[in-house]
Amino acid sequence: MRRFVHATTLAAALLLAAAATAHAQARFFVGAGASIPVSEFGDYANTGWLASAGVVGDLGDKGVFAFGEGMFGRNTHSDIDGDATNLYGGGGALGYRFGDASKAGVYVYGSAGILVHQFSPNVGSSDSEAQFAFGPALGIDIPLRKVAIWIEARYI
């Protein structure tokens, strides 16, 4: 199996966050975007996709938030037709949103969790490896009535 370095980029991810207007400020989100391989992973993997879903909530009223999410993605390989890598895992994050939350604004966060790299060959058996993954993110959120649109770049 090729060695996996837990570095992939989820760039220009468009996250559609369905805001639950429940009593506790918890909101559910789903999203998808490009998974752009870097480092050793970029030596053989093509740009693919990554989808995520989770729950985010505010921690007080000072712009601090936390979330938990699960993700799944796939990158095909450039060297052997039909080979691919599936990426899946989950984790949590702690972040800060600048400015008035009722208006469009910028946010940052750091995340940590487990990411599984599953090699899926065209012929033969698959192999997988789980590793601790972490990284920063920067994004813009645009609140609408009961939905918010998030656009972000993330490094895992």
* DSSP secondary structure, 64-113, as one string: EEEEEEEEEEEEEBSSSTT-EEEEEEEEEEEEEE-S-TTS-EEEEEEEEE
Per-residue pLDDT of the chain (156 residues; tens, 9 = 90+): 333 333 333 322 323 333 333 335 788 999 999 999 998 888 989 999 999 999 999 998 899 999 999 999 999 998 888 889 999 999 999 999 999 988 999 999 999 999 999 988 877 777 889 999 999 999 999 999 888 899 999 998
What is the C-alpha to C-alpha distance for residues 137 and 108, in angstroms, rounded to an integer? Answer: 6
What is the C-alpha to C-alpha distance for residues 136 and 121, in angstroms, rounded to an integer? Answer: 31
User: What is the 3-state composition of the chain as percent helix, strand, coil, each rounded to the nearest 5?
Assistant: 0, 65, 30
CB hemisphere CA count around 3 (13 angstroms): 3
pTM value is 0.77
Average pLDDT value over all residues in the chain: 83
Indicate the residue type of 117.
H
